Structure 1
Amino acid sequence: MFRPNRLKARIRAGEPSFGTWLQSAEPTFAEMAAIAGFDFIIMDEEHGAGALEAAVATMRAAACTEATVMIRVPSADPVYLRRLVDAGAQALLVPMVETAEEARAIVEAVRYPPHGRRGNANDITRSSSYGMVPDYYARADDSLLIVVQIETVTAVENARAIAEVDGVDVVFIGPTDLSGSAGLPGQTGAPEVEALIARTVEAVRAVGKPLATVPRAGRTHQQLFDEGYCFVASGSEIYFYRRGVEALMAEWRSYRGEAAATPAAAPSSYGR
């Protein structure tokens, strides 16, 4: 059967969507998050441990729910992008996109001719339910959600041109790497970083494309939704587990009369 892209439908309808990150590539955590009610789960292959087989397992784990699995790829490698969409990925998040040319190449890699260069094997791939969706070729391009990340100063300069690329559905602002690119690593609330983010927002909204992001210093996910972002991803299974074991060990040390452990580093954008 053809599984509708519920996240893309929500974005088109103007409905805010809330998601979380999966760093471990463990499908059980994806299934748990999906059952809990997140609108989407981002399986992180840029900083996480997963690869193609884990991506398929994660998509299967969430398939019994309303959640959409988004894959953040390690890079814009067109061969790997094609493998993912053949494997059934409905949403792709591509990091470190800096120019319209790069964005265009991403879109072309995952669209069928005449609009792209994706190879046609839809009679056997998981994306078409192994050939059991007879009109998959005609529906495939429109059912895929393509999200590109702006997270460098160069990308900010080119934000409007990137957003104008046909096939780019959402522009995702990455404040942590953007702060590093601006020479202020980790200072996502710094005025200089806020100014870069504001420039990006203005450029993308001038084109009429939706924006997405993660919480940052001075901005909760609720505030970001109030500012008009279409989706926000907050926290990760690693962060949630770390917080839990730290709290448990703090209780144990207190019981034993031991000194408290050194506090963990400040939360990143994944952990708010």
Structure 2
Amino acid sequence: MLGIFSKTTDSSFIEAMGHAGYDFVIIDQEHGPVQRDKLYDHVRAAKLGQLKSIVRVSENNHNLIGSALDTGAFGVQVPNISTVLDAKNAIKAARFFPFGNRGVCRFVAAASYGEKAKSDYFSDENKKLLILQIEGTEAISNLNEILELDGFDILFVGPYDLSQSLGVPGQITHTKVREEILKIRARAKENKVKLGSFADNVETYNFLIENDFEYIAYSVDVSLFIEGLKYIKTKLCK
């Protein structure tokens, strides 16, 4: 699956990504400006564009994870997973009984504001995509135990924070970073866990594809907009 990180407050951009043929959008509440009321609009826009909406919450917080899923989002991405306990807490927050203890309110968008049958609602929500994001050396030291857990769908490697934890901040193609990513890839493959990551250039994207990453976010909407404008300007103003 190929997607884009979004840091815009304009839902038209979300819908447009779907019309452009992308698979998913990560609506970023960790490093982006989207608050809860706008989040509902973004999720609706994604549905109009036949785009899977993934909400990256600002932190591994029970209420924030449940609230994001209440909007009707396709899934949730939880940052800063460093320990097995972090991972277990995220899983519990994203799942209803018997897999977790997500807060229950049937009168939310995800349940058609009470119109959806209860049994269908609880069953469908427990199938929502859950992505756990690891970002540093502490997570890598606990990786085997995290990978053995049931209840999440994708392990996302955050390359920028990983580069910082390895002492080469921002250098996501550095040998140290690439070596750790390949180690993560090998362990994930042994446990049959799907992998995701971020690329902001074609070379990094190809590296991820070649190493079996299935969920790739390519750059950020506002950055791609700037790149597009610059490209057009160079063509028009020769």
TM-score normalised to structure 1 length: 0.80
Does 2:88 align with 1:115?
A: no
How far apart, in 2, do the equivalents of 1:217 and 1:131 lie? 44
> How far apart, CA to CA, are the structure 1 residues paired with 2:36 and 2:164?
29
Q: CA deviation digits over 1:171-219, x for unaligned, max 9?
A: 0111111000111111112221112112211222221110011126784
* Equivalent of residue 224 in structure 1, options 204, 208, 211: 208
Partners of 2:130 and 2:152 within 8 A in 1:
yes
1:234 partner amino acid: Y
Partner of 1:125: 108
Q: Aligned runs of 1:168-179 on 2, under 5 Å?
A: 168-179=152-163
* 1:207 corresponds to 2:191: yes
Q: Is the 8 A contact 1:188 1:217 kept in 2?
A: no
Alignment identity in percent?
A: 27
SS at 1:165 equivalent: coil
Secondary structure of the 2:145 match is helix
Aligned residue among 187, 212, 216 for 2:171: 187
More moved, 211-220 vs 61-70: 211-220
Alpha-carbon distance, 1:19 to partner: 0.8
Q: 2:80 — aligned with what?
A: 96
Aligned equivalent of 2:55, options 46, 53, 71? 71
**Structure 1 residues 34 and 158, CA gap change in structure 2 (3 angstroms):** same
* Distance in 2 separating the partners of 1:138 and 1:168: 15
Structure 2, unpaired ranges of 5+: none
Aligned to 2:69: 85
Post-superposition shift, 1:251? 7.7
TM (norm. structure 2) is 0.91
Larger radius of gyration: 1
Match of 2:147 in 1: 163
Report how far residue 249 of structure 1 moved.
6.3
1:265 match: none
Q: Which runs of 4+ in 1 moved over 4 A?
A: 247-252
The answer to whether 1:52 aligns with 2:36 is: yes
RMSD value, Cα: 2.0
Distance 1:162 1:182 in 2: 20
Partner of 2:124: 139
Structure 1 alignment gaps of length 5 or more: 1-16, 256-272
Quote the Cα distance in structure 1 between the aligned partners of 2:25 and 2:193. Answer: 21
From the superposition, tell whether residues 188 and 139 of structure 1 become closer, same or farther in structure 2 (CA, over 3 Å): same
Letter in 1 for 2:164: G
Q: Is the 8 A contact 2:2 2:215 kept in 1?
A: yes
* Structure 1 contact 225–231 (Cα < 8 Å) conserved: no
Within 1, Cα distance between the matches of 2:163 and 2:206?
22
